[in-house]
């Protein structure tokens, strides 16, 4: 049976069992966050020092600060196109909000501008052709599942 590597836990899962496995990862926790978030496998993440990089952001609408997980930071540094939904979780609102509504506490720059700069510097990581379509469809479906779970 064919297997796929889960972008959440990075284990290899039988393709037929993957939809249920993914649904468990996308399930909402009591605080509103997904159980797990997609990341690159540890060996593919940024391995360098994170000193000086922003790690905490504030949602301008509610004023609450949220810290970003290191594995997410290390993943988007290697592939800034990994999170194409251009949204992030707000601990104050208990839901995902647009990157433009959040600013890094360390720099004052909004997360969307920061992400756009990373993407411009690494266009080679942008998904192309059928891979791009598959990624977009997968992310839309994941978002729909997460929205239904939060709904």
Residue 73 in domain = yes
Residue 17 in domain = no
Q: Which tens digit of pLDDT belongs to each residue from 3-50?
A: 999 999 999 999 999 999 999 999 999 999 999 999 999 999 999 999
Residue 32 in domain = no
- Residues 6+ positions from 78 with CB-CB distance below 8 Å: 40, 44, 45, 46, 125
Classified as helix, coil or strand, 59 is strand
Q: CA torsion 50→106→86→30, rounded to 10°?
A: 90
The total number of structural domains in the chain stands at 1
Per-residue tokens: 145: 């599942």
Residue 74 in domain = yes
Strand partners, 90: 95
Residue 67 in domain = yes
Q: Give residue 65's domain range.
A: 44-150
Residue 8 in domain = no
Residue 122 in domain = yes
Strand partners, 97: 88
Residue 7 in domain = no
Q: How many CB atoms lie within 10 A of CB 78?
A: 16
Least confident residue range of 4-8, 28-32, 60-64, 147-151: 147-151
Helix (H) / strand (E) containing 3: strand 3-5
Q: Which tens digit of pLDDT belongs to each residue from 104-139?
A: 999 999 999 999 999 999 999 888 764 444 444 444
Q: Which of residues 83 and 135 earns the better pLDDT score?
A: 83
């Amino acid at each position: 049976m064919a297997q796929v590597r889960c972008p959440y836990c990075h284990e290899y899962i039988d393709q037929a069992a993957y939809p249920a496995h993914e649904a468990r990862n996308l399930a909402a926790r009591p605080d509103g966050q997904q159980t797990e978030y997609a990341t690159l496998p540890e060996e593919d993440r940024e391995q360098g020092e994170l000193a000086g990089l922003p790690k905490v952001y504030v949602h301008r609408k509610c004023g609450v600060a949220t810290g970003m997980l290191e594995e997410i930071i290390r993943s988007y540094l290697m592939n800034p196109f990994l999170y194409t939904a251009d949204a992030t979780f707000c601990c104050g609102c208990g839901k995902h909000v647009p990157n433009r509504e959040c600013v890094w506490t360390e720099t004052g720059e909004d997360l969307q501008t920061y992400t756009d700069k990373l993407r411009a510097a690494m266009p080679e990581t942008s998904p192309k052709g059928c891979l791009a379509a598959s990624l977009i469809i997968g992310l839309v479906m994941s978002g729909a599942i997460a929205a239904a779970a939060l709904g």
